[in-house]
Amino acid sequence: MVVDWQIHRQGTVWFEERIDELLEQIVKICEIEAPTFAEQTRAQYVAAVMQQLPRGTTTIDDCGNVVYVFREPEAGQGFLLVTAHLDTVFPAGTDVRVRREGERWYAPGIRDNSASVALMIELARFLGEIDYRPKHGLAFVANVGEEGLGNLKGMKYLFEEGSASHWPVEAVLVLDGSFGKICYQGVTSRRFEVIMTCDGGHSWYDYGRPSAVHALGRAIAPIDSLRLPSKPRTTLNVGVIEGGVSVNSIAGEARMLIDMRSQEPQALDSVDRAVREAIRQAIADDEVHVEINVVGERPGGSIPDDHPLVRTHAEMAAALGVQVTPSWASTDANVPLSKGIPAICIGVATGGALHSLDEYLDVSSVLPGARYALGALLAFSTWVEQVEHLT
């Protein structure tokens, strides 16, 4: 049996009776600012809520992750880790108050990822209230630094220095994304900040001197012309360019941000070398200094479509009538996948206009998402116990 359906039916009734509380929890979390690198206030709120749950222990680690250990494993058993990221892409000062308009509730960050964090809390609450006692260990983590230049900071710390670095983690369930979308194939990525500097000067009196902006442009052209493989899928984007001080000044400084991604680390390394060479050649004849800083590094990893955990999840989803679509992406699952730990990221709510001020949550998707997330947790639980039994 993939899922303990008796517990699932009990949970379905529990969430139906508490749907208003779950929705209000989403609002409370959303209305606490949590920019990447500044999630402390939201983390403190989540920790305070989890400390009031029926069982378990809650701590905030040195990176800022909220770690709630629901249950320690029995002898010979491992851990199942459930996680959702706390941070949003929105800077401090953004109006994050929720605007309720029928079945759509609007606010920056309400779907990504306030809904997932709230659901994770309520999953833990339900399991505590029914005195759920799996043989394996179970922990819930609200992690930091998932978005943008956060660079999966919280998950990296968790697995390299934090709690999970000394736990026998057997599987990871990530709550993030749109309902029906799943990811167990993590795109590896690297981000450069390229800074070019020179003396600069006046556009008339100092004409002929090198320009950092011109040098940057000469570098972008060959970068744009690089031929990238379609298999493995590999992408390259110059996302930001900045430089100069006025229209009549020869720019003394210019910078750009480059995003590179691939399904295979080796292909990414090839693009890395090609970009560096294009930049080097662009300034070979100029008195321009270039500095290339790696500002983002996300490890990749995957499990195959026929992996037992993928099959277990698929069987559970089919039983619930949930159609899921797998895709390559960059999520919190990247970190455990890169370390050989099976992980799947699942979406638990629908919405739209993500990463914009008009972001919204489809309220009607929250209850189906809760039923699905509970099913996934129970399916993962069954699989983890079977893995330990077989070993």
How do 351-352 and 325-329 pair as beta strands? unpaired
Facing residues of 66 across strands? 60, 142
Whether the Cβ atoms of residue 263 and residue 225 lie closer than 8 Å to each other? no
**pLDDT interval class at 387 (50, 70, 90):** confident
Instruction: Count the neighbouring beta carbons within 10 Å of the beta carbon of residue 89.
Output: 18
For the purposes of burial, counting CB atoms within 10 Å of the CB of 272, is it exposed (0-12), middle (13-18) or buried (19 or more)?
Answer: middle
> pLDDT per residue over 116-169, tens digit each?
999 999 999 999 999 999 999 999 999 999 998 999 999 999 999 999 999 999
Chain centroid to Cα 288, Å, comes to 37
How far apart, in Å, are the Cα atoms of 257 and each of 117, 192, 211, 221, 274?
Answer: 30, 6, 18, 14, 16
**pLDDT interval class at 388 (50, 70, 90):** low
> pLDDT per residue over 253-265, tens digit each?
999 999 999 999 9
DSSP H helical ranges for the chain: 5-17, 19-30, 40-51, 115-129, 153-160, 212-224, 265-282, 308-320, 334-338, 366-390
φ, ψ for residue 181 (rounded to 5)? -100, 135
Q: What is residue 353's DSSP assignment? A: S
Q: Using the Cα atoms of residue 177, residue 267, residue 221 and residue 147 in order, give the sign of their dihedral.
A: positive
**111: alpha, beta or left, given left = phi > 0 and alpha = psi -120 to 50?**
alpha
Residue 205 pLDDT:
97
Q: Is the pLDDT of residue 385 over 50?
A: yes
> pLDDT per residue over 6-27, tens digit each?
999 999 999 999 999 999 999 9
Q: Which CATH class is domain 5-186+300-390?
A: alpha beta
**pLDDT interval class at 284 (50, 70, 90):** confident
> pLDDT per residue over 206-233, tens digit each?
999 999 999 999 999 999 999 999 999 9
Helices 19-30 + 5-17 axis angle, to 10: 70
DSSP H helical ranges for 132-188: 153-160
106: Cβ contacts below 8 Å, ≥ 6 apart? 98, 99, 100, 358, 359, 360, 361
232: Cβ contacts below 8 Å, ≥ 6 apart? 262, 263, 264, 267
Q: What is the mean pLDDT of the chain?
A: 96
Q: Is the pLDDT of residue 184 over 90?
A: yes
Instruction: Count the neighbouring beta carbons within 10 Å of the beta carbon of residue 114.
Output: 30
- The residue behind tokens 């390259």 is 236
Whether the Cβ atoms of residue 115 and residue 361 lie closer than 8 Å to each other? yes
Instruction: Give the C-alpha separation, 240 to 242, whole Å.
Output: 7
> pLDDT per residue over 63-86, tens digit each?
999 999 999 999 889 999 999 999
pTM: 0.93
What does the pLDDT average to over 354-371? 98
What does the pLDDT average to over 259-277? 96
CATH of 188-298, one of 2.60.120.680, 3.40.30.10, 3.30.70.360, 3.40.50.2000: 3.30.70.360
The domain limits of the chain are: 5-186+300-390, 188-298
Q: What is the DSSP string of 296-337?
A: EEE--EE--TT-HHHHHHHHHHHHHT---EEEEE-STTHHHH
